[in-house]
A and B are shown apart, each in its own frame.
Chain A
Amino acid sequence: MAQATLRRGTGERAGAAPPQIRTPAQLAWRQLRKHPMALAGGAVLALLYLVVALAEFIAPYSLDFADRERFYHPPTVLRFWDAQGISLRPFVYLTTLEDPQLRTYRADPTRRYYLRFFVRGEPYRVFGLVPGSRHLVGVDPPGRLFLMGTDQSGRDQFSRIVYGSRVSMTIGILSAMITIPLGMIYGGVAGYYGGRVDNLMMRLAEIIMSFPGFYLLLTLAAVLPTSVGCTTHFYLITFILAFLGWAGFSRMIRGMVLSIKEREFVQAARAAGLDDFRVIVRHILPNTASQVIVVATLGIPGAILGESSLSFFGFGVREPCASWGNLLTAASNLPTLILSPWLLFPGLFIIAAVVAFNIFGDGLRDALDPRARTS
């Protein structure tokens, strides 16, 4: 409240705009709108999470769909013209394997398979509830639409990337959901009590921060039981990422709490007879909110990269689950990669997601930082 009154006050002195009270959120949004790169990053993220939510609908094929006769199939060429003339609607040809050694496919130009939107395909359930069978794009069988080629068993890579986004895009958020409350409480308690409690708690956090990150990640992930299902395995990986992430975060919160606890409103809360826990949770921690949002946004890409590196080595998310990292495992064999360079596509999605998170996070930081505001 005090902040809002203050801002109105300066506004009146300037005499330009009519006095208007804006909430901090409105101010931040106004600032963010001036940052086209950050908005673009936000838009990419929104699009990716839309894909996460509607994976069944967007993917032309299901996660385990495999066309055994078309392994390492190159991305299907969308054609607009052929000997029969020009078509405004793109179409594809049916292909057959020509040389299994070099994995070349021959297209049969006698029949066109037109690209259709909202086609009927394999049935699915949206969110496990609503049944459906329409897919965003597709071609009539026996035609095949492999937008980004296929892997060694003829599974459509684009569909698997779409399903894989569920793992890759949520793992960061899930691990942040563990890291943030834990780090806030831990850092809050250490900063609030200070002295020996603080000293002891911070030494412990420093020990965890001093672990050589990737080595430990690898060791922990490598000893996870192999017998559990790939979904359980995914949660365990999330847990490991969170376990390594909370310490640095709690240190930052502690630093902020150290200065906040000296402010008058904290003394007022204590004078009013609130117990320590309530003072920390209700009065101190809310004041760290904007930094927490920024750190979370900038921390998520770290978790995405961590997951993809682990999965790439086969220690993370395992088959038959798909994640962008474990899809790239197929590209790690150089002879395979040279014949089938489209196996690198999942990497572009990792880069796009991580760039978007970083740019959006930086924009958010500028927007939430009152000092960086340009009126």
Chain B
Amino acid sequence: MLLYVLRRLLQLIPMLLGITLMAFVIIKLSPGDFLSEMRLNPLVSPETIERMRENFGLHQPLAVQYLRWLWNAVRLDFGYSFAFQVPVVWLIGSRLFNTVLLNVVGFAVAWALAIPIGIYAARRQYSLGDNALSFAAYVGISTPTFFSGLFLLFWAFKTGWLPIGGMTSVDFEFLPWWGKVLDIAHHMVIPVLVVGVFSIAGLMRQMRAALLEVLRQDYVRTARAKGLREPVVINKHAVRNAINPIITIFGFELGGLLGGSAILENVVGWPGLGKLLVDATLQKDLYVVMAALVFGSVMLVVGNLVADIMLAFADPRVRYD
């Protein structure tokens, strides 16, 4: 087991090399960089731009620049942001919390609802309730998050019940601590709803399919024949076995934690990592993009790894060696 985890972590190294090299080359090959936009600004003198070029090492050949970046990155120094003039690590650190907060709450809501709904749908297969839920799930997985986000913002404006966009109100700084918590919670309703509906739909479908598969098995019939009560059959015999594929999905979602809400964050103005990345890509803020890609990939691999380990605990039949 330990060996397996180690091997998986070792695989991360060539992967990160591949992805960072690719991102670096692509961004460098594209026409223009962050400074070329600055050059158009009459308030910035050519000397300043030349000094910035020097500081960021932009005058060196591509290979040297990449190796320098890599050497620094290994020591967890991801360089400076062109646009914000602060270390990238600071920038990402502050945004990371917001993204993780949004997604963790969204997942918690989704999991708490999706599993019971999935069980309900599987137990009443092809009933009116099941068909309605299945169709709703199809719509849920098919709605782009930017569309549902826009729609909810529109609705929030019309009803005036919820704040439209952002993470905090204008008077946030002056609120007592419980006021701050409430304020953020109020702003989170729309993004959590969007993230939640999207994953509820996917999870519920998986849970329903997995449970239906298990309910056809002989041991479920045996359990019923033994005269066990239905809740015991479902909860102790069937659900326990149907949960495995769901655990795999959990890891996958954990991995997608950083990337999953990127689109939504931009639509509702949530100051998270996804918004940072889109802004950085637009401004060709090279080091921010690179760091966001690295964080995203590491998260994905670690998420999948955690899922595999959890699966080994939940299901004694699963063996890694």
A215 and B153 form a contact (CB under 8 A):
no
A312 and B142 form a contact (CB under 8 A):
no
The distance in angstroms between the C-alpha atoms of A214 and B146, with both chains bound, is: 13
B259 interface residue (CB < 8 Å to A): yes
Given A219-B23, A341-B154: A212 touches B165 (CB 8 Å cut-off): no
Interface SS majority for chain A? helix
B263 and A344 form a contact (CB under 8 A):
no
A214 surroundings in chain B (CB, below 8 A): 259, 262-263
Interface SS majority for chain B? helix
Closest to A348 in B: B147
Mask of B9-34 contacts with A, CB within 8 angstroms, 1/0: 00100110011000100110111000
B297 and A223 form a contact (CB under 8 A):
no
Of listed A206, A214, A309, A351, residue having the most chain B CB within 10 A: A214
The distance in angstroms between the C-alpha atoms of A338 and B281, with both chains bound, is: 28
B313 interface residue (CB < 8 Å to A): no
A137 interface residue (CB < 8 Å to B): no
The distance in angstroms between the C-alpha atoms of A375 and B135, with both chains bound, is: 25
B29, B138, B143, B144: the one contacting A223 at CB < 8 Å is B29
A305 interface residue (CB < 8 Å to B): yes
The distance in angstroms between the C-alpha atoms of A301 and B139, with both chains bound, is: 12
A218, A332, A347: the one contacting B144 at CB < 8 Å is A347
B292 interface residue (CB < 8 Å to A): yes
B138 and A355 form a contact (CB under 8 A):
yes
B87 interface residue (CB < 8 Å to A): no
A219 and B258 form a contact (CB under 8 A):
no
A320 surroundings in chain B (CB, below 8 A): none
Q: A219-B26, A358-B138 are in contact. List 18 more A-B contacts (CB 8 A).
A: A37-B135, A210-B301, A214-B259, A215-B293, A216-B19, A218-B262, A223-B26, A223-B29, A225-B30, A225-B31, A226-B31, A309-B263, A313-B266, A313-B278, A337-B154, A338-B154, A351-B142, A358-B142
Closest 7 pairs between A and B when the two form their complex, measured CB to CB: A212-B296, A223-B30, A354-B142, A347-B147, A212-B259, A355-B142, A222-B281
Which residues in B have some Cβ–Cβ distance to A below 8 Å? 11, 14-15, 18-19, 23, 26-27, 29-31, 135, 138-139, 141-144, 146-147, 150-151, 153-154, 157-158, 164-165, 256, 258-259, 262-263, 266-267, 277-278, 281-282, 289, 292-293, 296-297, 299-301, 304
14 contacts across the A-B interface (CB closer than 8 A): A210-B19, A212-B259, A214-B259, A214-B262, A216-B293, A218-B278, A219-B281, A308-B144, A309-B146, A328-B146, A332-B150, A337-B154, A341-B154, A351-B142
